[in-house]
Amino acid sequence: QKEVEQDPGPLSVPEGAIVSLNCTYSNSAFQYFMWYRQYSRKGPELLMYTYSSGNKEDGRFTAQVDKSSKYISLFIRDSQPSDSATYLCAMRASSGSARQLTFGSGTQLTVLP
């Protein structure tokens, strides 16, 4: 079983829809949670960065972390064709040698105009 599970999709939605992307994880040591966006043939770009449980909002993006359920989500409101990309969740522990990020496998999103 992978430490981080992410529905690979693909996910296709009409422009203006609300998109929900999710990851589950098994390592209770994870404290920092991130969402990256990766366009085709490009490197990942950091979208959201949260610590521990709770919500964080940035424009059309909202990240939620529920540590009790080991579940994180990214919501995209008023989705645009330019949001079409692969979305990767990532997480890491807070200390010790495990400072590397552990990524999900990514969800491919297409927003249709």
Partner 1 sequence: DAGVTQSPTHLIKTRGQHVTLRCSPISGHKSVSWYQQVLGQGPQFIFQYYEKEERGRGNFPDRFSARQFPNYSSELNVNALLLGDSALYLCASSFGTENTGELFFGEGSRLTVL
CB of 101 to partner 1, least distance (A): 6
Q: Residue 45 interacts with partner 1 (CB under 8 A)? A: yes
CB of 8 to partner 1, least distance (A): 8
Task: State the DSSP code for 82.
Answer: G
Q: What are phi and psi of 54, to 5 degrees?
A: 130, -175
Q: Residue 64 interacts with partner 1 (CB under 8 A)? A: no
d(CA 2, CA 101): 14
Q: Residue 53 interacts with partner 1 (CB under 8 A)? A: no
Q: Residue 101 interacts with partner 1 (CB under 8 A)? A: yes
Q: What are phi and psi of 45, to 5 degrees?
A: -120, 125
Considering only 2-10, 11-19, 58-66, 73-81, which stretch makes contact with partner 1 by CB under 8 A? 2-10
Kindly determine how many residues on this chain lie close enough to bind partner 1 according to the rule CB under 8 A. 26
Confirm if 89 and 4 have CB atoms less than 8 A apart. Answer: yes
